[in-house]
Amino acid sequence: MSDAPVSINPDLCRGCKKCVSACPFGVLYMDGKLVMLKADECRGCLACIQSCPFQAITAVSSDEIDHERLREFSGVWVFAEQQRGKVREVAYELLATGRRLADERGCELAAVVLGHEIGHTAAHLIAAGADKVILADDPKLAEYEANVYTDALHQLIAGHKPEVVLAGATAIGRAFFAKVAVRCYAGLTADCTALSIDSETTLLHQTRPAFGGNIMATIMTPNHRPQMATVRPHVFKMNPPDPGRVGETLLEALDLAPAVTRITRTIPSASSINIAEAEIVVAGGRGLKKAENLECLRRLADRLGGVVGVSRACVDAGWISAAHQVGQTGKTVSPKVYLAFGISGAIQHLEGMRGAETIIAVNNDPTAPIFDVADLGIVGDLMDILPALADAVDARARN
Amino acid sequence: MTRPSEPLQTDILCVGAGVASLSTALALLRAHKKSGGDRLAPRVVILEKSRAIGNHVLSGSVIDPSAFDGLLDEEEIRRLPYEASVTSEAFCFLLDARRSFSIPWVPKMMRAHGYPIGSLTKLTRYLAMLCEAQGAEIYCGFAAAEWIEDESGRITGVRTGPRGLDREAKPKSNFAPPEEIHARAVVLGEGACGHLTERLIDRCKLHARRPQSYALGIKEVIEMPDDPDRAGGILHTFGHPADTRTYGGGFIYHVSATQTMLGYAYGLDYSRPETDPHELFRRFKTHPAIARQIEGGKAVAYGAKVIPEGGLFSVPELATDGALIVGDGGGLLDSLRIKGIHMAMQSGRFAGEALAAAWLADDFSRDRLSAYGKALRASPVWTQLERVRNVRAPFSKHTVFGLAAAGAAWATRGALPWWMVRMEPDHAAMRPPRPGRALRTEATVETTPLNPDRLTDVFMSGTIHDEDQPCHLHILDRKTCEECIERFDAPCQRFCPAEVYRLEDGHIHIDFSNCLHCKTCQIKDPYANIEWTPPQGGDGPRYTRM
Amino acid sequence: MHIAVCVKQVPDTANVRIDPETNTLMREGVESIINPYDEYALEQALRLRDSCGARVTALTMGPPQAAVILREAMARGADGAVLLSDRAFAGADTWATSYVIAQAIKKLKPKVDLVLFGKQAIDGDTAQVGPGVSEFLKYPLLTYARDLQVAADGRYTAETLMDDGVEVIEGELPAVITVVKESAAPRFAPLAGWMATRGGEIPSWGVKQLKAVPDLCGLQGSPTRVVKIFAPPVKSGGTRMDGRVQPAAAVEAIVTLLSRKGVVS
């Protein structure tokens, strides 16, 4: 940063350290009896000015300079989350959206990869729409660790000053992005379902649900940069890859502190998966008629990599544990796909699953309320459909 | 976490944070302040089984403002959380599904002009705030499961229900054992058909001359298109869809420009097992005289509760050693106007004053506490009860008798009829269909946002119970249950306004999680074979605008 | 060990709706509750206290009436509580909220070793304040944790729920940890606990007590601005099929949809 937003007058400073403790970013430090500023890291919050009893600190920035500073930020970034060298799908989805935003702003679209031995990802990311891929390749980034990831992304942002930074709202993206946003004094909006550039202000319009999806809100970050947002997987569509695209790859060497937490063991999903977090829920209700038919449901769930959910009737009948119950008195789920077999859809059940992205319902009663919320509703005997469906999915998997 | 704890101590313990208990606490603390002299004010603890204050209260509610006499000062009355006062009232006789007849003038005994209307939940919260300002302590989420008595039979406290038991009644990881709280006097303000109240009446032989008779009241809050002119208008109805042998009536209160309260009460002394009060409620809403009033609206909240209608002859003894009964639990309700809030509050007032005197005398014996009953008998509450003491019973013979009795009572200021008209207990009133005759069932009313089905209504009540707990509704004897299915075709599946009871594969299945704590099942099961007990504290309906 | 548990009072979101005509929140009949996730964080804190001894302080930022959830936390067993309440805090986004909470934690005595949060609050669903506080405090962050164990030397282990499995993590205090619901069920507040918390004052800290910078608090300090709220779009009608005649066609339709959603290849 060329100009620090504040200046310290050494003649007035008495070394009282009030400003040092007031600074939320820890960029003021004592050099002997005088206060010094790490100018590059100052976010211009001006907290120190108010804390100084001797008026030794003054603001350099005027509104003019503020705008100047905002304008220094340019480019749209997508954080391309990878694990064991494989970039997650959501990154490609974000690149498609990022492409649109970058074109509207007339700027560059960059993908940022943190990890170790990740060079091979660049080609895929460029094919998916990135103009540039920034690779931070470091053994310390081999495994996700929130604190190291935060250091890394923060250093990259400080160095390149992107205007917009996007990430998937995954367990990883949601956690360390919030730290990065605080460190940058940036605005962050989680779980966006729509992103667009406001034609008048050129700001990023971020739309997200709140209050359990009962309300939508549109959010902007007018005076802070970058504008950061996370987006849940499968909200946006990815573009087909274009292998002919060319782009630049930038290797960044970072100065990182070692990790403070350590993974000692990993337990793969399946057994531990929790219905509230599941991507695919295969659910059954009273229409299953008997406990044995739950087996069919399980078989389909296994093949789809999903979990079994049930309406209250099945739990009441003692067929399955309450941990699988979806609804008002059970769990609230919001999977990518919810398949409902023999569930009529009383409001008590709907309340627990209406957040699902896609709902497929099979029921023999054409007036069942579940059909009102279903994207695909099939009137029919579930025992005609369920086994055949499991076989069909199986056949697809083998091909 | 499972260590047995020392009993907790307080001076006065109220069970249930409804208007009766709260009025008791308020009157007690104020009376003490006035005349207490040197003695410290008693510690008053109020236990409430719902999650938050006012979650389990239900009423119309148009309030007879005599409720506030001697309890609230002018400023407090002015600040009452009411949206409107009654500006216009009508009384309508619904002849059949289409025709109706407006009574040209409202009988004086029933007039409500200028009365406040609004939400009982809000009134309850307001009273709770006044109580807390006086130092009373209110704890929500605690159901009083049993009382504690000493060797002499004096009531000395209550035990709360356990929490954190699973379906098989085995402790879960967060099991919280029952807690004992001891007090010099226990005030039972549980509402109609109270869990402890009914048992205490049996235990201490406090029975009234006639068993209590109830009606089931079902209510919805309707959100209406904005119309400021509507606010303050009320309508009471009588007749359809009740049959001529059952006491049934409805009300519509336009509480504000955008909110209307609508309800239907149906006497539980009905005889036909096919009766479905919720369906009657829905049918009531489709009557042109009613539908007109709620046109363009949408149902947004729902609740149900039994109303004690037995009147004077069904009021039990209200005091015993160490305990008092106040409000609906004591059957204090004007059964002509179906108004109980003012009686509940006034009973609380007299109970509170009697307790204040007892506290000064350090004597909570039955003799000392009977000052409460005496004061109540000398008050306008009793005059009202006496005047309408025989209005309700004749209705269970025929509407004509009922109307005649009401007329006679009105004309003679309650002198006629002078004898006690008999009534059988509600559960005994049900008659099986004649052999070989099927039950008469009528087509159900079409479901719309204004007239939702029962499960949607249950959803709007906000009721919720942890499903991994022992069922709080007990079928005492399964054999009797099967006999009832055989003879009456399981009337529980119809009389329950929350679809708790379901007949499946020839057995009754209980979805206790739907329960609204209305007590209809305990009252109306033809064999008195269902027992209602409190579920885990904090569970139950969550009325917020009733 | 001193554990700070941050709790939030939230509207019971199941009842929050928006008026489709005026686009304003309809709060009629909406009750305030303690954020359900935070109950699990509190339970983790109390369990640590029970097993290895600790002082547990509950914190919340909100209007004065939010103190009721602090009383509830104390009734369940928290040793102390602090309300962070000031007009200047109004309108805070996650950045400004994190700042105020961090200032409060810095002020607590003895020094806080562990800060626990629920995974997220059910009103905003952002899951950002826990990480944000870790940043202001410069404490390492661990998210989506359960089964937290702390040894005498300040080393801890926990399981974290990640997108594709569970990781067992080791670390060292101090730390900020967010807790998921898949951990020990919250205990009930006993009546004895409620009766004991009565009368005790809960300190309320504002800008002054926290020595916070007003420009960093509330709306003033918040980078983000909500520019519009509106009702979610109504889901348009789906496809209906009769699977009674030709079940095979119905199965085909399901498979096609699943493959479009990327669930099957």
- Cα separations (Å) of C102 from A241, B196, C95, C112, C217? 44, 49, 11, 11, 12
* Lowest model confidence (mean pLDDT) among A7-11, B224-228, B526-530: A7-11
pTM: 0.89
Give how many domains chain A has, as a whole number.
3
Q: Are B124 and B18 in contact (CB under 8 A)?
A: yes
Using the Cα atoms of residue B301, residue B302, residue B306 and residue B309 in order, give the sign of their dihedral.
positive
B497 CA: distance to closest CA in chain A (Å): 16
Question: pLDDT tens across C75-100, in order?
Answer: 999 999 999 999 999 989 999 999 99
B534, B511 contact by CB (below 8 A) = no
Note the pLDDT tens digit of each residue in B400-416. Answer: 777 787 777 777 777 77
A262 within some domain? no
The H or E element that residue C51 is part of is helix C36-52
More confident residue, B369 or A17: B369
| CATH number of A52's domain | 3.30.70.20
Distance of alpha carbon A139 from alpha carbon A160, whole angstroms: 22
Beta strands C9-11 and C17-18 are unpaired
Q: Are strands B248-254 and B233-239 parallel, antiparallel or unpaired?
A: antiparallel
A154: helix, strand or coil: helix
Length of chain A: 399
Residue of C nearest to B178 (CA): C190
* Domain boundaries B8-75+121-211+312-387, CATH class: alpha beta
What pLDDT is recorded for position C14?
63
Q: State the pairing for strand pair B259-267/B214-223.
A: antiparallel
In 3D, which of B396, B394, B393, B424 has the Cα closest to residue B528?
A: B424
pLDDT in tens, B279-306: 999 999 999 999 999 999 999 999 999 9
User: Is pLDDT at A355 greater than 90 in this prediction?
Assistant: no
In chain A, the residue whose alpha carbon lies closest to the alpha carbon of B510 is A316
Sign of CA dihedral B195, B198, B203, B204: positive
Does some domain include residue A25?
A: yes
Q: Is C218 on the interface with A (CB under 8 A)?
A: no
Token pair of B535 as six digits: 């579920």
Residue of chain C whose alpha carbon sits nearest to that of A270: C165
For B225, the token pair is 């298109």
User: How many Å lie between the alpha carbon of A369 and the closest alpha carbon of chain B?
Assistant: 11
Confidence check: pLDDT of A1 > 50: no
Lowest mean pLDDT among A281-290, B92-101, C64-73, C237-246: C237-246
pLDDT band at B170 (very low <50, low <70, confident <90, very high): very high
Q: Which structural domain, as residue segments, surrounds residue A365?
A: 274-398
Q: Is the pLDDT of residue B210 over 90?
A: yes
What is the per-residue pLDDT for A3? Answer: 63
Residue A146: per-residue pLDDT: 95
Q: Where does residue A11 rank: exposed (0-12), middle (13-18), buried (19+ CB within 10 A)? A: exposed
A348 and A218 fall within a common domain: no
- B:C CB pairs within 8 Å: 49
- Which residues are registered as beta bridge partners of C109? none
Residue B392 tokens read as: 């309700």
Inform me whether the pLDDT recorded for C28 exceeds 90: no
Tell me, what DSSP letter sits at residue A3?
Answer: S
Of the residues A289, A329, A350, A367, the best mutation for testing chain B's interface (the one with the most B CB atoms within 10 Å of its CB) is A329
Residue B5 has pLDDT above 90, yes or no: no
Which residues of chain A have a CB within 8 Å of the CB of B456? Answer: 346-347
Copy the structure tokens of residue B59.
């009423």
pLDDT at A68: 77
C-beta separation of A352 from A327 below 8 A: yes
Please state the ipTM of this predicted complex. Answer: 0.92
What pLDDT sits at residue A63? 60
The B-side interface with A (CB below 8 A) comprises: 455-456, 458-459, 464-468, 509, 511, 513
Distance to chain C for B334, nearest Cα, Å: 29
Neighbours of B78 (CB within 10 A): 8
Is a pLDDT exceeding 80 seen at residue A133? yes
B36 pLDDT above the threshold of 90: no
* CA angle in degrees (0–180, nearest 5) for A323-A325-A327: 135
Burial class (CB within 10 angstroms; exposed 0-12, middle 13-18, buried 19+) of A114: buried
pLDDT for C21:
65
Using a CB-CB cut-off of 8 Å, the residues of chain A touching B471 are: none
Is residue A259 situated within a structural domain?
Answer: no
- At A135, the pLDDT band (50, 70, 90 cuts) reads very high
Q: Which helix (H) or strand (E) holds A105?
A: helix A89-105
B5 touches chain C (CB under 8 A): yes
Assigned token pair, B246: 């059952």
Residue C235 pLDDT > 70: no
Domain chopping of chain C, boundaries: 2-221, 235-265
Note the Cα A69 to chain centre separation in Å: 27
Residue B413 CB neighbour total at 10 angstroms: 11
> What is the average pLDDT score of chain B?
92
The DSSP string of B434-457 is PTTPPP---PPPPP-SSS--HHHH
**Residue B230 pairs with which residues in a beta bridge?**
none
Contact C13 A212 (CB under 8 A): yes
Measured between beta carbons, which residues in chain A are less than 8 angstroms from residue C171?
A: 260-262
3-class DSSP string for B78-132: HCCCCCEECCEEEEEEECCCCCEEEECCCCHHHCCCCCEECCHHHHHHHHHHHHH
Please, what CATH class does the domain formed by B84-117+214-308+429-532 belong to?
alpha beta
Distance CA B507, CA B502 (A): 8
What is the per-residue pLDDT for A2?
A: 43
The whole-number average pLDDT for the span A133-144 is 96
Which residue among C29, C43, C192 places its CB closest to the CB of B5?
C192
| pLDDT higher than 60, residue C153 | yes
Beta strands in B398-483 (DSSP E): 473-475
Across the interface, whether the CB atoms of A47 and C257 are under 8 A apart is answered no
- pLDDT for A164: 97
Asked whether the CA dihedral B63, B67, B68, B69 is positive or negative, the reply is: positive
Does residue B175 surpass a pLDDT of 60? yes
Q: Are A42 and A5 in contact (CB under 8 A)?
A: yes
Q: With bands split at pLDDT 50, 70 and 90, how would you rate the model's confidence at A61? A: low
**Mean pLDDT estimate for chain A:** 89
Residue in C141, C223, C238 closest to A185 by CB: C223
> Is B172 close to C185, i.e. CB distance below 8 A?
yes
Any C CB within 8 A of B46 CB: no
Distance CA A278, CA A336 (A): 8
Q: What is the mean pLDDT of the segment spanning C45-65?
A: 95
Burial zone of C217 (CB within 10 Å; 0-12 exposed, 13-18 middle, 19+ buried)? buried
Q: Is the predicted pLDDT of residue B262 greater than 50, yes or no?
A: yes
Tokens 């009252």 sit on residue? B523
Angle made by CA atoms B180, B181, B182, in degrees to the nearest 5 = 120
* Cβ <8 Å between B181 and C191: yes
Residue A66 lies in a domain: no
Residue pair A156/A250 in contact by the 8 Å Cβ criterion:
no
Domain extents in chain B? 8-75+121-211+312-387, 84-117+214-308+429-532
Residues from C in contact with B at Cβ < 8 Å: 15, 28-31, 43, 184-192, 194-195, 198
Beta carbons of A375 and C125 less than 8 Å apart: no
Q: How far is C237 from chain A (nearest CA, A)?
A: 7
| Higher pLDDT pick, B19 / A28 | B19
* Among chain A residues, CA nearest to C96: A182
What is the spatial distance between Cα A135 and Cα A378, in angstroms, rounded to a whole number? 48
The Cα B523–Cα B195 span in angstroms is: 12
Task: Tell me which DSSP letter residue B18 carries.
Answer: S
- Specify the pLDDT at position C162: 84
User: Is A12 in the same domain as A83?
Assistant: no
Percent of chain B residues topping a pLDDT of 70: 99
Average predicted confidence (pLDDT) for chain C? 91
Contact B349, B27 (CB under 8 A): yes
- Give the rounded percent of residues in chain B with a pLDDT score beyond 90: 79
Flag if C192 and B139 touch (Cβ within 8 Å).
Answer: no
Tokens, residue B200:
């205490």
d(CA C96, CA A165): 20
Q: Do C28 and B542 touch (CB under 8 A)?
A: no
Residue B4 has pLDDT above 70, yes or no: no
In total, chain B counts a number of residues equal to: 546
Distant-in-sequence, close-in-space partners of B46: CB < 8 Å, separation ≥ 6: B13, B14, B16, B17, B21, B22, B25, B131, B136, B137, B138, B139
Compute the distance between CA of residue B219 and CA of residue B109 in angstroms, rounded to an integer.
24
- Residue B381: phi and psi, rounded to 5, are -55, -45
Question: How far, CA to CA in Å, does B477 sit from each of B354, B481, C64?
Answer: 42, 6, 52
Which whole number is the average pLDDT over B524-532?
Answer: 97
Alpha carbons B398 and B524: distance in angstroms, whole number: 20
φ, ψ of residue B429 in degrees (nearest 5): -80, -15
C-alpha torsion B148→B535→B206→B350, nearest 10? 90
Map tokens 């460029």 to a residue: A126
> Cα separations (Å) of A127 from A106, A133, A134, A248?
19, 11, 14, 12
Q: Which of B142, B174, B545 sits opposite C191 (nearest CB)?
A: B142
Q: The domain that contains A326 carries what CATH number?
A: 3.40.50.1220
- Residue B2, pLDDT score: 42
- Residue B106, pLDDT > 70, answer yes
B127 at C interface, C-beta within 8 A: no
Whether chain C has a CB inside 8 Å of the CB on B302: the answer is: no
Same domain, A102 and A51: no
Residue B334 has pLDDT above 50, yes or no: yes
Q: What is the pLDDT of residues A72-84, one digit of tens each?
A: 899 999 999 998 8
CB contact under 8 A, A188 and C128: yes
Distance from CA of A335 to the nearest CA of B (A): 23
Same fold, B8-75+121-211+312-387 and B84-117+214-308+429-532: no
- The average pLDDT across A215-244 equals 91
Put simply, the answer to whether A50 touches C231 (Cβ < 8 Å) is no
- Residue A68 belongs to a domain: no
Do A105 and A43 sit in the same domain of this protein? no
Question: In CATH, what number is assigned to the domain containing residue A246?
Answer: 3.40.50.620
Query: Residue B407 and residue A396: Cα distance in Å, rounded?
Result: 80
* Pick among 3.40.50.620, 3.30.70.270, 3.40.640.10, 3.40.50.300: CATH of C2-221: 3.40.50.620
* Position A306 in a domain: yes
Q: Which of C159, C172, C255 sits opposite A393 (nearest CB)?
A: C255
In the structure encoding, which two tokens stand for residue C34, read together? Answer: 């303690």
On the question of pLDDT at B202 being above 90, the answer is yes
* CA angle C171–C177–C179, rounded 5-degree value: 125
Same domain, yes or no: A185 and A239:
yes
